[in-house]
Amino acid sequence: MKFGRRAISCGMGTLILCLLVIASALGQGAKPADSKPQMSEEAFKNIQVLRGIPVNEFMGTMGFFAASLGLNCTDCHTEESAGNWAKYADDTPLKNTARRMVIMMNAINRSDFGATRLVTCYTCHRGVQKPEVTPSLAEQNATPPPEDPDRVETLPGTPDNPAAAEQIIDKFIQAAGGAQQLAKLNSFTAKGTYTGFDTDFQKVPVEIFAKSPNQLSVNIKMSGGDHTTTYDGRDAWVASADRPLPLITLVGGDLDGARLDAQLCFPTTLKQDLTKWRANFPPVTIDDRAMQVVEGVAPNGSRVKLFFDKQTGLLTRQVRYVETAVGLTPVHVEYSDYRAVSGVKMPFHSVLTWVDGNSTTELSDIQANAQVAAAKFAKPNPVASR
């Protein structure tokens, strides 16, 4: 995938940065009726096939295209679109082909698989623009690459065993400091640096504000203006100066992600935050360390895998899946450099990988039980973020 160009930052990747520090709390209620998200055709021009989906899902769909074909934004649009959002509406041969492919894919799934989505762009393309039609003898006879731990699935025919999943989570709670110590953590602020494709790999300041039970705001000081992701305990938004829309309301799997990011900041109720827990996974190792894997389901149906170091009990990796119009997009977060903050172990280093690139956050300071103004969790003002 051609991540070297700045144009790749058109995706929604940084909205999921928030999973930086350990935490938890129970998600709150349904969304109010007046928080209807903006649809793709309302926000953008020349939308012909991907109509009737929220803006955040539309952007995730663009990321799915990029990951499936190994292309970035300007490959399918135009070079001029890199500096002019309006140019993304212009038709190009690749855009017209993509429209036909989506229609074809939907028809195959309806006619051959009972409307179950078993065929996606990635099924045939596998990261290249033109699908291969002839087997490669070199690939056939080469040493197979190592299995991707993210793709581990539960063993067929074995019970889900939610009790085993709860025991693994209990071990994590104890490793992070214990339930009593974690309960003393009511809020925190954090400072550090953020580095990613959307900063041209330059380190920029990042600030994090969290408040129990499940409020979280992350502010990245981009060169062109602030990028702010906020979850207020019910709703979530992204305000950014370098996005096609200055303010995007998150729904569906992206809202699940924002909620879980906030909940993981205070993890004593993690077992209640997700449902349908299962732990019947085969053995998994990451960097030669044995992992214990559990899976839960978020309120909007998003699957979440959590990888815990079998020896330390600490959270090492999270993989979650966000629904788009053409397939599930994975979000992968790695955690390391755990340090004690007021008796609670928190990761000071995290690496986020998604279909539009990756980013690294290195925290230099976390202040436990700091005073955090309620305004930090209000709906962001895109004007103020510029």
Q: State whether residue 307 is helix, strand or coil.
A: strand
The pLDDT confidence band at residue 37, using thresholds 50, 70 and 90, is: confident
Output the six-digit token pair for 332. Answer: 């992968």
Shared-domain flag, residues 122 and 28: no
Shared-domain flag, residues 305 and 330: yes
Shared-domain flag, residues 72 and 93: yes
Which has the higher per-residue pLDDT, 242 or 121?
Answer: 121
Which has the higher per-residue pLDDT, 136 or 357?
Answer: 136
Closest of 20, 342, 339 to residue 182, by C-alpha: 342
Closest of 234, 165, 279, 190 to residue 25, by C-alpha: 234
CA 169 to chain centroid, in Å, comes to 21
C-beta of residue 235 within 8 angstroms of C-beta of residue 9: no
Mean pLDDT, residues 60-77: 90
Residue 263 lies in a domain: yes
Burial class (CB in 10 A: 0-12, 13-18, 19+), 307: buried
Q: Please give the Cα distance from 245 to 40 (Å, whole number).
A: 11
Please say if the pLDDT value at position 157 is more than 50.
yes
Mean pLDDT, residues 308-324: 96
The pLDDT confidence band at residue 22, using thresholds 50, 70 and 90, is: very low
Q: Please give the Cα distance from 340 to 342 (Å, whole number).
A: 6
| CATH at 165 | 2.50.20.10
pLDDT of residue 78: 85
Domain residues for the domain of 135 are 40-141
Per residue in 258-310, pLDDT tens? 999 899 999 999 999 999 999 999 999 999 999 999 999 999 999 999 999 99
| CATH at 63 | 1.10.468.10
Shared-domain flag, residues 204 and 276: yes
C-beta of residue 177 within 8 angstroms of C-beta of residue 312: no
The four Cα atoms 21, 22, 27, 33 give a dihedral, to 10 degrees, of: 10
Q: Please give the Cα distance from 230 to 207 (Å, whole number).
A: 12
Question: Residue 319: left if φ>0, alpha if ψ -120 to 50, beta else—which one?
Answer: beta
Q: Please give the Cα distance from 113 to 125 (Å, whole number).
A: 20
Shared-domain flag, residues 250 and 334: yes
List the single range of 78-92, 156-170, 366-380 with lowest mean pLDDT. 78-92
C-beta of residue 179 within 8 angstroms of C-beta of residue 352: no
Q: Which of 12-16, 36-40, 104-108, 225-229 has the highest mean pLDDT?
A: 104-108
Residue 185 lies in a domain: yes
What percent of the chain clears pLDDT 70, i.e. is strictly above it? 90
Strands (E), 264-327: 275-278, 284-286, 289-297, 303-309, 315-323
**Could you say which of 89, 122, 141 is where a domain stops?**
141
CA 129 to chain centroid, in Å, comes to 24
Burial class (CB in 10 A: 0-12, 13-18, 19+), 363: buried
Q: What is the average pLDDT score of the chain?
A: 88
Please say if the pLDDT value at position 102 is more than 80.
yes
Shared-domain flag, residues 316 and 355: yes
C-beta of residue 39 within 8 angstroms of C-beta of residue 56: no
Q: Please give the Cα distance from 2 to 143 (Å, whole number).
A: 25
Question: Residue 29: left if φ>0, alpha if ψ -120 to 50, beta else—which one?
Answer: left
Shared-domain flag, residues 99 and 125: yes
Residue 200 lies in a domain: yes
From first CA to last CA, the distance across the chain in angstroms is: 30
pLDDT of residue 19: 31
Tell me the Cα Rg of the chain. Answer: 21
Mean pLDDT, residues 311-336: 95
Output the six-digit token pair for 141. Answer: 């006879």
Q: Could you tell me the sign of the dihedral formed by the alpha carbons of 319, 173, 17, 340, in that order? A: negative
Mean pLDDT, residues 188-214: 94
HSE value, Cβ hemisphere, 13 Å, CA-based, for 221: 9
The pLDDT confidence band at residue 242, using thresholds 50, 70 and 90, is: confident
List the single range of 12-21, 188-197, 199-208 with lowest mean pLDDT. 12-21
Shared-domain flag, residues 227 and 80: no
CA 139 to chain centroid, in Å, comes to 31
Output the six-digit token pair for 135. Answer: 């087997």
CA separation, residue 232 to residues 102, 144, 238 (Å): 35, 46, 12
Shared-domain flag, residues 86 and 201: no
Shared-domain flag, residues 104 and 160: no
